[in-house]
Chains A and B, each alone.
Chain A
Amino acid sequence: DAGVIQSPRHEVTEMGQEVTLRCKPISGHNSLFWYRQTMMRGLELLIYFNNNVPIDDSGMPEDRFSAKMPNASFSTLKIQPSEPRDSAVYFCASSKIHPGLAGAYNEQFFGPGTRLTVL
Chain B
Amino acid sequence: AQSVTQLGSHVSVSEGALVLLRCNYSSSVPPYLFWYVQYPNQGLQLLLKYTSAATLVKGINGFEAEFKKSETSFHLTKPSAHMSDAAEYFCAVNKFSGGYNKLIFGAGTRLAVHP
- The residues of A with any CB-CB pair to B shorter than 8 Å are 4, 31, 33, 42-43, 45, 48, 50, 55-56, 91, 93, 95, 97-98, 100-113
B90 touches A43 (CB 8 A): yes
Which B residues are in CB contact (< 8 Å) with A4? 43
Interchain CB contact (< 8 A) of B51 among A42, A105, A110, A111: A105
Query: By DSSP majority rule, is chain A's interface helix, strand, loop, or mixed?
Result: strand
What 16 additional pairs, Cβ within 8 angstroms, besides A31-B101, A103-B30, A113-B42?
A33-B102, A43-B105, A48-B102, A55-B100, A56-B102, A93-B44, A98-B51, A101-B51, A101-B53, A102-B29, A103-B29, A105-B51, A106-B94, A108-B103, A109-B46, A113-B43
Which A residues are in CB contact (< 8 Å) with B44? 43, 91, 93, 108, 110
Kindly state the separation between the CA atoms of A93 and B51 in the bound complex, as whole angstroms: 20
Minimum CB distance partner of A108 in chain B: B103
